[in-house]
Amino acid sequence: MEYIIIKQKRKTASIAIDKDLRVVVKVPKYMSQTAIKKLVAEHETWIETTLKKKKVLYETQDFIKTGRLLYLGNYWPVTFENGNNQQGKVVFNETSGFKIQTTGDEKQIRGLVELFFKERAKIYLKELSDEYAARLGVQYHKITIRKQATRWGSCSRQGNLSYNLKILCAPTDMIAYVVLHEVMHLRHFNHSQAFWKAMEEEMPDYKRRMNYFKQFGQNFMI
Ligand SMILES: [Zn+2]
Domain limits for position 29: 4-61
Q: Are residues 110 and 55 in the same domain?
A: no
Is 178 within 8 Å of 152 (Cβ atoms)? Answer: yes
Q: How far is the CA of 82 from the centre of ligand 1 (A)?
A: 43
Burial class (CB in 10 A: 0-12, 13-18, 19+), 145: buried
Residue 212 lies in a domain: yes
Q: Is 220 helix (H, G, I), strand (E, B) or coil?
A: coil
137-188 pLDDT, tens per residue? Answer: 999 999 999 998 879 999 999 999 999 999 999 999 999 999 999 999 999 9
Burial class (CB in 10 A: 0-12, 13-18, 19+), 58: middle
Residue 198 lies in a domain: yes
Residue 14 lies in a domain: yes
Q: How far is the CA of 196 from the centre of ligand 1 (A)?
A: 10
Q: Are residues 172 and 110 in the same domain?
A: yes
Q: How far is the CA of 133 from the centre of ligand 1 (A)?
A: 15
Q: Are residues 119 and 54 in the same domain?
A: no
Q: Are residues 127 and 191 in the same domain?
A: yes
Residue 93 lies in a domain: no
Q: Are residues 169 and 116 in the same domain?
A: yes
Number of domains in the chain: 2
Complete DSSP assignment for 33-91:
HHHHHHHHHHTHHHHHHHHHHHHHHHHHH-HHHHSEEEETTEEEEEEEEE-SSTT-EEE
Residue 81 lies in a domain: no
Residue 202 lies in a domain: yes
77-115 pLDDT, tens per residue? Answer: 999 998 777 789 999 999 999 999 998 889 999 999 999
Q: How far is the CA of 194 from the centre of ligand 1 (A)?
A: 12
56-71 pLDDT, tens per residue? Answer: 988 999 999 999 999 9
